[in-house]
Structure 1
């Protein structure tokens, strides 16, 4: 037969420990999804511009009108990316701050910095390349249930590492592509710069997906710990009689 047992009683969390809002999570994930969709549109426009620049590729004719239309579409895609990125970033940072405040009530001893850093860390140049990751790692640890007595358990932190690594790399690579595109003075250089931008768009899409997974996982962990208590339920399997 099998039985479930808790090897250590689970004390109550501090009074007033809130459950994270699903509405704010949906808004943050929705903003990231819109950003990813704009990146997909930019990829399509990039392919079209690459084809128009490739006179011998056989995809389209090399007429000036078609090249101008492809370049205009690509610039439009870039404007859409810029327009949606700012509100999506603001919504994500609001979610990030609220999550820092809520997880801070679950395990205040797990944090190395105050809750204000959940916003300020994004705004300081250079510091924003690593400080939000530290805050996220502390939140992840605070939302992770403690192991019961006699149990060895540690939640994997790869969702935090994957999200932050992809995010930083995509930002830096995008700046490199922007520099290449700005300095391009001939069709060959423009083609190469557009190719770099397209690679940056792919990174943005993957980074957005990683950010969505991170946000959903962290919110789920926080809600479970706030409702069920700080200790992980240990399930002991006994041999059948």
Structure 2
């Protein structure tokens, strides 16, 4: 019928589709573990830098030793950055799919943030201190086979992640300083060790979380019940 006439009947609306999360979960797990190995190597590099400088000042190391330490730091840091970015991208792919799936059981109204915040919340200044926690917590709660699901793992993960991020920024500011001293290198190595402990804790916890959510969602998927 022409313009102005009554609209025809609406076509069928496709039901929301379950999105596979097992593949991204496995990839994210492997990349996060690789990133943690990179963090450990960076801590080794920080201690090596301090020990070589200390030995050089004591006359027990050469300029060649200093150069070798710098080369080791370079070879450790560059691949580490690439793996870290890859882990973040794959994790966000998993998080987006897990969020879409979580809406199948609780609807969008059961989530405190819209879908845009699933990714955007990580990059919003200041707000990134709590929005990603809300997103993951809501996915965790909606995906659980039995409710209420304890939030302890999610809370512990977010606390260690934020603490590690704050310390990492402090460590980065040190290496941007114009003058680096032997005592400063020692302090940086100690700070790097603390960051590693927090990063490992946060990494292990998020692996537990994403794999548990994946298991819950896979069991509740239409394909599983078919």
Q: What is the match of residue 129 of structure 2?
A: 129
Q: Does the 8 Å CA contact 1:103/1:143 hold for their aligned counterparts?
A: yes
Alignment match, 2:204: 209
Shift of 1:57: 11
State the match for 2:75 in structure 1.
Answer: 76
Q: Write the deviation string for residues 212-233 of structure 1: whole angstroms up to 9, x where unpaired.
A: 111111111222233689xxxx
Indicate the residue corresponding to 1:8 in structure 2. none
Question: For residues 75-131 of structure 1, what are the alpha-carbon distances to aligned partners after superposition, in whole Å with 9 as ceiling and x for unaligned?
Answer: 332222212111211111111111100111111142122222111111211111110
Q: CA deviation at 1:49?
A: 2.1
- Which position in structure 2 is the counterpart of 1:6? none
Distance 1:35 1:43 in 2: 12
**Greater per-residue helix proportion:** 2
Q: CA RMSD in A?
A: 2.6
Q: What TM-score do the two structures reach when normalised by structure 1?
A: 0.77
Given candidates 164, 172, 193, the residue that maps to 1:178 is: 172
Task: Note the C-alpha offset of 1:166.
Answer: 1.3
- One of 191, 196, 202 as aligned partner of 2:191: 196
Gaps of 5+ in 1: 1-14, 147-152, 230-241
Moved more, 185-194 or 30-39: 185-194
